[in-house]
Structure 1
């Protein structure tokens, strides 16, 4: 016999809450919580975009182009996630940590950090050597789980977010060559000065 939709939603919500509580046990000690908090904050948009900007400044050629693509993809995805969060309107779990997130980004589903992690992991698979991509994947997974451990997300928030990030990332990776070919001046700063001065004409 099929259960009423409301009952199914209530049971899934209860399971989500129990799973989140189970994950939070991994950060019950002060030292482990501080480590989880650092991991959780490592996926902040300003941290990620700042690191990508530094990479873009100090790189050349294909690496510089890839950093630019990662940065633009991250920014575009952030606006998409903000819209989804506002549309769905699921509140974060109650807790003390993460006051900045709770005040300025009160909605939980999908997790923006998880989306960002999945996006970067997927793009790294196409842009980086195998060993480097593996390191990015490890960071992305740990950072995503830390959002549950620190109490600012439910498990379903990060699962949905990471899956969405992977889908967007692999999709963006599949069209990256076409985007680079169509808009070379956007991704190659060596072309900027000649374009401004007319030297390239």
Structure 2
């Protein structure tokens, strides 16, 4: 009934740090990466409910080939790293989450993902003047914070001509974000004002 990353964005915007920003883009990294868009203080779903499909943004592979963000910044890449190392990739989904036993495989994944998020953040801000980019995902809080800090560092060295650099902030809910946002959807539609309602017919 609702895109899972959009649902996660709803949870962040309604119940946590997202309310501090009027306009921002939101990345949620699960098996694949997705996202959400907040405009005028409201999660914007678009005419067909597909706004914020950030995983479909274009990226470039190591040989210059065209790829999507989902191909270079998703947890399935970490799963592949663990499989190649002879480890069970299901470890990343085990609850409660504890990735301390394989952090040497997580570190290079964080580096690659942060590079891609820094580039994607500026691409997004070239279309809409977002003041912030929020990052969350189905991983432990320590991994999320490392990813946010690394993205901030990579952003410093990006070509930002003509752009205002957004702040990079961490989300709050981790793997629970999608369920919280989806469960709250009836409340949002019934009781909260959609300040983007007039945009849906454009």
TM-score normalized with structure 1 length: 0.30
Higher-helix-fraction structure: 1
TM-score normalized with structure 2 length: 0.30
Higher-strand-fraction structure: 2
Find the structure with the greater CA-based Rg. 1
